[in-house]
Structure 1
Amino acid sequence: MGDSAQPRHNQQLSLAGFETVAAAPGPTAAGASSEPAAPRHRQAPTTASRRQQDAGEEALSQDPRWSHHSQVPVPALTPMLRHYVELKRQHPQRLLLYRLGDFYECFFEDAVTASTLLELTLTGKEGGRAIGRVPMAGIPHHALERHATQLLRHGCSVAICDQLEATASNPKGLLRRDITRVLTPGTVLEEGMLSARCNNWLAAVLASDNGYEPGWGLAVADVSTGEFQATQVHSSSQLNQELLRLRVAELLLPRSSDPGERPVAMAPPPWCPAGLAVGTVPRRAFQRMAAETALQDRFRLAGLAGLGLHALPLALGACGGLLHYLQDTQRGMTVPLAMPRTYSLDQHLQIDQHTHRHLELTETQRDGQWQGSLLWAIDRTLTAMGGRCLRRWLQRPLVDLQAIAARQETIATLMATPKLRQALCRVLRPMGDLERLAGRSASGTAGARDLMALADGLERLGQLAGLLRDAQGPYLQALRHRDPALIALMETTRRTLVSSPPLSLTEGGLIQDGVDEVLDKLRQRLAEDHAWLEQLEQRERQATGIGSLRLNLHRSFGYFISISKSRAHQAPERYIRRQTLANEERFVTPELKEREGRILSLRSRTAQREYDLFCGLRQQVGEQAGLIRHRAAAVAALDALTGLAGLAATHNYCRPQVDDSRAMAITAGRHPVVEQNLVQGAFVANDLALGQPQGADLIILTGPNASGKSCYLRQTGLLQLLAQMGSYVPATAAHLGLCDRIFSRVGAVDDLAAGQSTFMVEMSETANILHHATDRSLVLLDEIGRGTATFDGLAIAWAVAEDLATRLGSRAIFATHYHELNHLAQRLPNVANHQVVVVEENDRLVFLHQVRSGGADRSYGIEVARLAGIPQSVVLRSRQVLSAIEANSRLGVEPVGELEISN
């Protein structure tokens, strides 16, 4: 018999019942035997002291006995566990899930890891007479996807070992098993393991080994959508920021281990984002010749001149390492990738991770929620691929005026034709994720329902073409024509598959009648046998005179004749009793058993024929994956622009004038997130004039807390970003010159993990801005210098503001409570003072949230403290102390001396 029917072990094994790592078999002291020590067996203690000693040992034990597969003497294991260890040695850094009956089991160190990460009961299994019990933990086979997703989120890689036969070829042997799938955080294709609206990036990095010219090559791929990109950067900070921007799921680095040597875990480099899953690939895969060969073989190219990688040797090497990893982990399946596209960081508006967090582009700064972010406020997409497209646009705004204008023109067209926009929405709303459906088809993991969803999406491409036949503009014209190959593929799929196919691919019910002559004949014979069964039931009722006699089918026992208990004595002698139940007796006849064998054989042949036909259809679809994804990209862009047009029409956004000037002129600008979150009242719009010659280069913005300074800063950054994304902006009018970078430092928190205080974090971010900002940058600073002593903070704030206005010449807004900075406007011609207006009415502070020219002379901090509920006695004493400080302070009375700037 095989081992698939082994019972599930439910008894829980205490960790104290296992031996510690120190007691595991291993090398002994000098002169001692090198043979593995025999496992420790529990024996009844003979004295109280022995019991106390054993209890102490168990209390100190931290790891189970045989806590690692490398510690166990393999010949002493059972055949099944020997096979497990063999597979584990092939995948030492992956958690191995081994199929046993209805469960996927882990053993040794994997059992301990899985029980901890998945909160499973750690049980045990007999490992052999000389071994005793070994750690075991498992999950039901039907819950594999859910638990594998949890493991991937913890940064684990998973190797899945499946049963490859239903019954063992040798009755006394094991079922044949092998690794059928390797899941890593960056290579998953399964729909349930992926975030629908986010790319899942796998990255490979190759560092220069030339100490004179540091550099890094970066290759990233989303195996679920086929996107493949490569670039080269010159600083570790750029690399870190790019990995953070992409939110890479898994990072690959070269390792120097020899072939056959067990790879060891390596410490992540300093530039690696915290918590990122890191894997390794043999260094030879990153070498130029190996990388060129891998790319040529993968994409069937004679040379790489057309890819633009000849001038990017480090990026080329990174591509080679990434392709090697995919080939190693995705054996037996082809991951369809587009040819690598090179890009440069300078091709887009650069936004570092600090600014990304401060402006809350994709998640809120406080609790990391999507709701309340800019993406939440502007995302009106109707498809998953459109949502991913919009996220990419938001994270990588444009610096190309023609590309910006093309998106604006499309939005303008869709706003001017509301009926067309509404019709497009009706077609897009039910459309499936064509990018990922095509990828699963090409990799051989798509199900029948996936192919039907893909066929539905291809049919909707035709509907889009009909709606856009007279449209103008590149984004609309890309979908005006239908591809004959995709039309034929859609028709073939609909003609082949039933309209509502089952989830299972191996139990039949997938293929329509009339598709295949062999299948039709098999079904005809099955229909005849089923008709014979119906006639048999009628004949047996008449022959026995038992009107309640039934012919039924049991999944395990097969066909049987059911007779109630009260009439079982009337069963003919030719009936063979099969099973006795409380209310009925079950019988079979030789004739019925013979027919049953024939029916089961026909069913098996029919299901296999259907599966073969389905696999052929899936292969046909997979061969068109590149073309489908090309059309899907056009649909995704259309979806994103249709959503932006609907947003602009609904919320009264305007088309900004974007050019190559340094102007920033906004009339009645609004914060796109805050105005949607307001429950009571209307958002107070404000103007902005920044950038010479129309306005000052630096605005000193003063006003009390909670008056709206931070909102005004963020609003300015978000409107600039939206404009360079190609979107309309929430304003009455806007003229915005291109920016090369946006820097924002709004609010700060302690970085306890890095050992940095709030003030240190603030200074580090400010230093980064002063080192990288240019006269084409937009800088937004809030309360610089507030985390230290008053005079120190004022000195730092003054110097930073002065540096922005003089040496850098950046367009900047500097929000502060240091009113002394208003003196800068008297000294520097490109500095202006603005304030957020408040009004005091009957000892009550009224926030108007209006920004006007002129500097504030008070912060109203004590009044804000009173509004927050500070006790009245403390408020009164605060006013007394403030009066004393103001009477004795000379700060702001004497002018700050001239500072000689050295370039």
Structure 2
Amino acid sequence: MAKSKSEETPLMLQHKAIKERYPDAVLLFRVGDFYETFNEDAVIAAQVLGIVLTKRANGSASYVDLAGFPHHALDTYLHKLVKAGYRVAVCDQLEDPKTVKGIVKRGVTEMVTPGVAVNDKLLENASNNFLAAVHFGGEVTGVSFLDISTGEFFVAEGSIEYVDKLLQSFRPAEVLFARQQQKNFKATFGTRFYTYTLEEWIFTTTYAEEILLKQFQTHSLKGFGVEGLNAATIAAGATLHYLKDTEHPNLQHITRIQRIDQDDFLWMDRFTVRNLELLNSSVENGHTLLKTLDNTVTPMGARLLKRWLVFPLRQKDRINERLDTVEYLIKESALANDLRGHLKQTGDLERLVSKIPLKKINPREVMQLARALQQVAAVKTLLGRNTNDYLERLKAKLDTCPGILDRILNEVMENPPVLVNKGGVMRDGVNKELDDLRAIATKGKDYLLQIQQKESEATGIPSLKIAFNNVFGYYLEVTNTHKNKVPDTWIRKQTLANAERYITPELKEYEEKIVGAEDKILVLETRLFDELLADLQKYIEPIQTDAQVFGRIDCLLCFAHNAVQYKYRRPQITDGYELLIKEGRHPVIERGLPAGEAYVANDITLDKEEQQIIILTGPNMSGKSALLRQTALITLMAHMGSFVPAASAEIGLTDKIFTRVGASDNLSGGESTFMVEMNETASIVNSITPRSLVILDEIGRGTSTYDGISIAWSIVEYLHDMSGHRPKTLFATHYHELNELEAKLGRVKNYHITNMESGNKIIFLRKLAPGGSRHSFGIHVARMAGMPPELINRANEVLAQLEEKHIDGAFQQNIKNIATSSQKLQLNIFDAHSDTFKEIRDRLESVDINRLTPVEALLKLNEIKSMIG
């Protein structure tokens, strides 16, 4: 039965009014010492947090669902709700209940969503927590990324594909877009992100510029290099609007906005980021390139390294600037060790300083900030003796902020409590009134001891003691043995089993002085600490710059450490188009090898004139994919400014790396393996340039053999002749028929991964050698995978019979004919054969290869074999 408004209690009416303003959030409603949730919020809280769901009367015969937890456990429970994907509104008491008659005034003091999180339990040190906004602007799409916990703010605009790549690289915790664009967003970017929609009017140029200019206190956006980027500006404006709308008015740490220019970085589409396993592994708990390279010692460095990984440089001078610095740090090992030592003591300076305007920084963190500034001073001194130009420029940006550093060290206790209201935060000598009050509190307690001694001597009660409780304050306690000695002037307050408690006028007088002084001390310390934080606000920007400089130094030190530890060598970056790698190794696989096992290194040569395309054949599991990936990863690492896992590497400037490695069904999008494969391949062939590196692995395997070979063949021809760009290409395939292309196309060369047969076993030597391979060793691999012996034996019988009937021979002859023909590729081995082969063709064409199970395939093969027989 629905309740009328008059039946609801004042508390529930207040809750209802606030909940109506935040209908899509779980409302944590402060009631005394608890945060309570009601109705549907209570059901969610009980389920997610594992707390008890109860019912309570609501001023009438009806009840409401209720679930709550102690207020001091807010951090613990809040992060669980947000991690579960809920928006949470924290509603606090805005008045002291002791001073208010009737219902206490309440209001939402903070809204926490996945993309708007500053609580340490919601954040990962090594990862940014970006809030993104996307604006579909017609010809171009705008996007912004803001991390409220660090103050970093980026914008970009371009094609849908470009924005998709940025979303993949930044991996935002939450994405905003206009409500009317829901279908468009889902169709374009899928359901990979946690999203929230805003009203259409927010996504306008006028409003965006207004809110951005107000934030940065400037008359234009020219100084940030974003003027004219209307779509990006609109996205950025929507981001700031959302922060204000979620009760985050204090954003003084967001001091700048940075443009991401596509031409500044080596391009990798989201398929390449995934295929190369830069950030995520396809195997649970598997290693990634990021995990392999990350030996940073600060959270700022760890976050920046991830950005360097997905945004490698394209400018030769900037790459060499990093490489020169890494080489310098390797040579100056003592300097590098000292720098790492100081950086380790810094903590997360970037997030610490961002807590100041958000009013989230506590006394202990303020002292950590001071220690970080001391490390800034030490690093600046160390860098004063270096001869590296880049480090010299970084040193010039460091600001030790001596004024505020001295003030913190002089005013805040060395080991203060976490909470200001615990007292003991400010040092003696900071404020005379505070010193006087502390003297009263301290001496007052001393005087209480004097009272105890005086009364004990006057009454002859040796066991007399003075104590305190919250009911009646300070009291004298007398055991029953001596209660007959108590003077008549004492006032009895409490009788216990073995003692009685009394007060005296003198005791009450000093109690008032002591308790009053302690209350005043807390108020005064809080005020002095707030004044210090207000002064700290002036130093936000220089301290942020210090944090960013430390992040850069940390990444360069990490590269130097990796080079020494893992025997990486400096790559030579050239203006040419060649890729020459001597004894290259896969950086991730190498680190995962068992102790004592050496990685088999290989040489790779690719250029535009002699060896543009390598067709790589060899057995499954022989290491073809590893060789492909390591070539891409070495190129990528070089463009990051890192040394590489090779004896030497000469790498022509590369603008794009494309990979088509592996595939899986996109079931939610209704796409088969083959469709996913073709989408990714189409993206490559439509985007290549002369400076692109293309990595293709098993193209065409998602369809029938003949379609697959046709497509793979055509792709090689297109990359060689039709595109006009001659991109450097590595093409691994199990279609050995593609080896015929070497004779037809001058810049195509065949290579294979070597192996050795020993009896019925195959040993993979993992060494690259010229020439193609015509054996896939599929049955050998099946045996190694643990297939039943009877199945393996039957497969060998079928294979022998097929080879005896020369089916494969006829097919190979057709391939040779195609290779020598000037006509377009027409792959059909059945046209010139008998009715039997026509029937075989008809049956094969009726098979849906994507739905065929392995057992069904063997049965179909056996059926064809009987037809031939």
TM-score by length of 2: 0.90
In structure 2, the residue matched to 1:804 is: 719
- TM-aligned CA deviation for residue 598 of structure 1: 2.7
Q: Deviations over 1:831-860 (max 9, x none)?
A: 111111111124332111111111112111
Question: Residue 144 of structure 2: which of 215, 219, 229 is its match?
Answer: 219
Q: Deviations over 1:93-148 (max 9, x none)?
A: 22211112232111122222222333333222222215x11112223322212222
- TM-aligned CA deviation for residue 584 of structure 1: 5.2
Q: Which amino acid aligns with 1:354?
A: F
User: 2:460, 2:87 → 1: CA distance?
Assistant: 64
Q: Which amino acid aligns with 1:114?
A: A
In structure 2, the residue matched to 1:873 is: 790
Question: Residue 123 of structure 2: which of 182, 189, 194 is its match?
Answer: 194
User: 1:580, 1:477 → 2: CA distance?
Assistant: 76
Contact preservation (8 Å) 1:108, 1:135: yes
In structure 1, the residue matched to 2:159 is: 234
User: 2:252, 2:424 → 1: CA distance?
Assistant: 28
Question: Residue 669 of structure 2: which of 754, 763, 769 is its match?
Answer: 754
**Distance change (3 Å), C-alpha of 1:550 and 1:276:** farther
Q: Which amino acid aligns with 1:240?
A: D
User: 2:791, 2:397 → 1: CA distance?
Assistant: 74
- TM-aligned CA deviation for residue 152 of structure 1: 1.9
Unpaired runs of at least 5, structure 1 = 1-37, 40-71, 257-263
Matching of residue 243 in structure 1 with residue 243 in structure 2: no
- TM-aligned CA deviation for residue 779 of structure 1: 1.7
**Distance change (3 Å), C-alpha of 1:580 and 1:393:** farther
Contact preservation (8 Å) 1:161, 1:181: yes
User: 1:505, 1:899 → 2: CA distance?
Assistant: 84
- TM-aligned CA deviation for residue 755 of structure 1: 3.2
- TM-aligned CA deviation for residue 80 of structure 1: 0.9
In structure 1, the residue matched to 2:603 is: 687
Contact preservation (8 Å) 1:713, 1:813: yes
**Distance change (3 Å), C-alpha of 1:886 and 1:792:** farther
User: 1:575, 1:272 → 2: CA distance?
Assistant: 80
- TM-aligned CA deviation for residue 186 of structure 1: 1.8
In structure 2, the residue matched to 1:492 is: 407
3-state SS of the aligned residue for 1:874?
helix
**Distance change (3 Å), C-alpha of 1:149 and 1:899:** farther
Matching of residue 118 in structure 1 with residue 39 in structure 2: no
Question: Residue 258 of structure 2: which of 334, 341, 362 is its match?
Answer: 341
Contact preservation (8 Å) 2:441, 2:513: no
- TM-aligned CA deviation for residue 279 of structure 1: 2.5
3-state SS of the aligned residue for 2:156?
strand
Q: What percentage of residue pairs aligned between the two structures are identical?
A: 37
3-state SS of the aligned residue for 1:553?
strand
**Distance change (3 Å), C-alpha of 1:577 and 1:782:** farther
Contact preservation (8 Å) 1:461, 1:482: no
**Distance change (3 Å), C-alpha of 1:265 and 1:760:** closer
- TM-aligned CA deviation for residue 526 of structure 1: 1.5
Q: Deviations over 1:489-541 (max 9, x none)?
A: 11111111000110111231100000112211211222221121221222233
Name which of structure 1's ranges 587-596 and 334-343 shifts more when overlaid on structure 2: 587-596
3-state SS of the aligned residue for 1:397?
coil
**Distance change (3 Å), C-alpha of 1:170 and 1:222:** closer
In structure 2, the residue matched to 1:407 is: 322
- TM-aligned CA deviation for residue 474 of structure 1: 4.6
Q: Which amino acid aligns with 2:28?
A: L
Matching of residue 296 in structure 1 with residue 226 in structure 2: no
Q: Deviations over 1:552-597 (max 9, x none)?
A: 3335653333445665565555444545556655443343334323
Matching of residue 139 in structure 1 with residue 69 in structure 2: yes
**Distance change (3 Å), C-alpha of 1:598 and 1:399:** same
- TM-aligned CA deviation for residue 733 of structure 1: 0.3
Matching of residue 167 in structure 1 with residue 92 in structure 2: no
Contact preservation (8 Å) 1:708, 1:849: yes
**Distance change (3 Å), C-alpha of 1:783 and 1:568:** farther
Contact preservation (8 Å) 2:440, 2:513: no
User: 1:103, 1:806 → 2: CA distance?
Assistant: 72
Question: Residue 106 of structure 2: which of 160, 165, 177 is its match?
Answer: 177
In structure 2, the residue matched to 1:425 is: 340
User: 1:374, 1:483 → 2: CA distance?
Assistant: 31
Contact preservation (8 Å) 1:704, 1:861: yes
Contact preservation (8 Å) 2:87, 2:112: yes
**Distance change (3 Å), C-alpha of 1:273 and 1:791:** closer
Name which of structure 1's ranges 90-99 and 821-830 shifts more when overlaid on structure 2: 90-99
Q: Which amino acid aligns with 1:597?
A: E
Q: Which contiguous aligned blocks of 4+ residues in structure 1 show a shift greater than 6 angstroms? A: 264-267, 482-485
- TM-aligned CA deviation for residue 83 of structure 1: 0.9
Question: Residue 423 of structure 2: which of 498, 508, 514 is its match?
Answer: 508
Q: Deviations over 1:796-852 (max 9, x none)?
A: 222233323333332121111111111111111111111111111243321111111
In structure 2, the residue matched to 1:254 is: 178
3-state SS of the aligned residue for 1:892?
helix
Name which of structure 1's ranges 314-323 and 750-759 shifts more when overlaid on structure 2: 750-759
Name which of structure 1's ranges 108-117 and 850-859 shifts more when overlaid on structure 2: 108-117
**Distance change (3 Å), C-alpha of 1:603 and 1:685:** same
Contact preservation (8 Å) 1:406, 1:473: no
Contact preservation (8 Å) 1:464, 1:479: no
Contact preservation (8 Å) 1:75, 1:82: no
Name which of structure 1's ranges 284-293 and 78-87 shifts more when overlaid on structure 2: 284-293
3-state SS of the aligned residue for 1:780?
strand
User: 1:307, 1:738 → 2: CA distance?
Assistant: 28
Contact preservation (8 Å) 1:478, 1:634: no
Name which of structure 1's ranges 340-349 and 242-251 shifts more when overlaid on structure 2: 340-349
User: 2:488, 2:744 → 1: CA distance?
Assistant: 116
Q: Which amino acid aligns with 1:291?
A: A
Matching of residue 102 in structure 1 with residue 33 in structure 2: yes
Name which of structure 1's ranges 512-521 and 836-845 shifts more when overlaid on structure 2: 836-845
- TM-aligned CA deviation for residue 610 of structure 1: 0.6
Contact preservation (8 Å) 1:745, 1:782: yes
3-state SS of the aligned residue for 1:631?
helix
In structure 1, the residue matched to 2:373 is: 458
Unpaired runs of at least 5, structure 2 = 826-869
Q: Which amino acid aligns with 2:140?
A: G
In structure 2, the residue matched to 1:829 is: 746
- TM-aligned CA deviation for residue 331 of structure 1: 4.5
Contact preservation (8 Å) 1:243, 1:273: no
Aligned residue runs from structure 1 range 590-669, under 5 A: 590-669=505-584
In structure 2, the residue matched to 1:77 is: 8
**Distance change (3 Å), C-alpha of 1:562 and 1:167:** farther
User: 2:485, 2:249 → 1: CA distance?
Assistant: 58
User: 1:706, 1:316 → 2: CA distance?
Assistant: 49
Aligned residue-pair number: 816
**Distance change (3 Å), C-alpha of 1:285 and 1:761:** closer
In structure 2, the residue matched to 1:701 is: 616
3-state SS of the aligned residue for 2:527?
helix
Contact preservation (8 Å) 1:465, 1:479: no
Question: Residue 309 of structure 2: which of 386, 391, 394 is its match?
Answer: 394
Q: Which amino acid aligns with 2:362?
A: G
**Distance change (3 Å), C-alpha of 1:425 and 1:304:** closer
- TM-aligned CA deviation for residue 746 of structure 1: 2.0
User: 2:52, 2:624 → 1: CA distance?
Assistant: 54
In structure 2, the residue matched to 1:540 is: 455
User: 2:153, 2:194 → 1: CA distance?
Assistant: 19
User: 1:869, 1:877 → 2: CA distance?
Assistant: 15
Matching of residue 893 in structure 1 with residue 813 in structure 2: yes
In structure 1, the residue matched to 2:654 is: 739
- TM-aligned CA deviation for residue 247 of structure 1: 0.6
Q: Which amino acid aligns with 1:339?
A: R
TM-score by length of 1: 0.86
Contact preservation (8 Å) 2:376, 2:399: no
In structure 2, the residue matched to 1:33 is: none
3-state SS of the aligned residue for 1:750?
coil
Contact preservation (8 Å) 2:398, 2:546: no
Q: Which amino acid aligns with 2:605?
A: A
Contact preservation (8 Å) 2:165, 2:270: yes
